[in-house]
Amino acid sequence: MSPHKIRYGSLAFAFCAAVALSSSAACDQPKPKCNIGRGSFAARYTVISGPASCADLKGEQLGTDAYNPAGKGGRPELDVTSIAIRAASLGTLAQNAAGTPAADPDPSHHPHALGTFSTAEPEDDFCTVPTFAPAIQNLGAIEADPDNDVAAQPATQVTYDWKNVRVYVTSTAAGTQLTGEVTITTDGVACGYSVVAMYPYVDCSAPDPNDKDKTVPDDEACKAEPDPDKGRPTGSGISPDFPVKCDPDLLACFLTSDHIPVLR
């Protein structure tokens, strides 16, 4: 959350109080529309079903976007919002195969899942997407080509099936924390996870002072405030209202609790 948003909210509150005192009229800020942060979330996964190997995946980066369909006169229909979620791992596989014989031949398959908010505005500060069209990629094998910097990639079939995604939406935190469930099926092996995610994704890895080939978590990288003396001319971009630390598994800044909203 930027300082400007705090000031705007404070001014709106002061204005409403003045109106109420002078005319006894009610003055409420309009509810925000359901939305989601556009960009990358850091997501942490907790296994809820599947074999023991599912625990190997602790989380990943998620790319998200929001869309409004065209309404009357071609103008966006703001009361209907769909969101797309693309896991970084699946997106990378699809990108590596794009334009080659290994690409998924089915035009109905996409590396992103797509769903629509069930309401135009948040209910109790949450917007819900109950179901999604799953992200599916059936990819062929890619042979290594060192001369063109192409790494080998085995044939694989991957599906991300999302459901019950709840996005926290207020005037000061417009779609920057979410929770939900996803089933990731890779070559027939299904792993179910509960998911908590925070926007934006911020890498907080730092070189290990004792081993140049390793990295360690750095909580300093997660601070919202800049500190030029420590090599951080800008802040992390994470809302100062969010208590965060560097997650040792993700090596990304993350919330200090899995029960959203997580606020100071």
Torsion of CA 231, 233, 236, 242, to 10 degrees: 100
Q: At 45, is the secondary structure helix, strand, or coil?
A: strand
Inter-CA distances, 201 with 7, 87, 162, 231, Å: 25, 13, 20, 19
Q: How far apart are CA 255 and CA 252, in angstroms?
A: 10
Segments making up each domain of the chain, as ranges: 1-30, 31-89+108-139+158-255
Q: How far apart are CA 216 and CA 183, in angstroms?
A: 29
Q: Are 102 and 139 in contact (CB under 8 A)?
A: yes
Exposure string for 195-205, b = 16+ CB within 10 A, e = fewer: bbbbbbbbbbe
Q: Are 3 and 226 in contact (CB under 8 A)?
A: no
Sole residue written with tokens 């599947």: 50
Q: What's the pTM value of the predicted model, to 2 decimals?
A: 0.85
Question: Residue 49 gets which letter from DSSP?
Answer: E
pLDDT in tens, the chain (264 residues): 443 333 333 333 333 444 444 444 445 678 899 999 999 999 999 999 999 999 999 999 999 999 999 988 889 998 999 999 999 999 999 999 999 999 999 999 999 999 999 999 999 999 999 999 999 999 999 998 888 888 899 999 999 999 999 999 999 999 999 999 999 999 999 999 999 999 999 999 999 989 988 999 999 999 999 989 888 899 999 999 999 999 999 999 999 999 999 999
- How many Cβ atoms from other residues are within 10 Å of residue 61's Cβ? 19
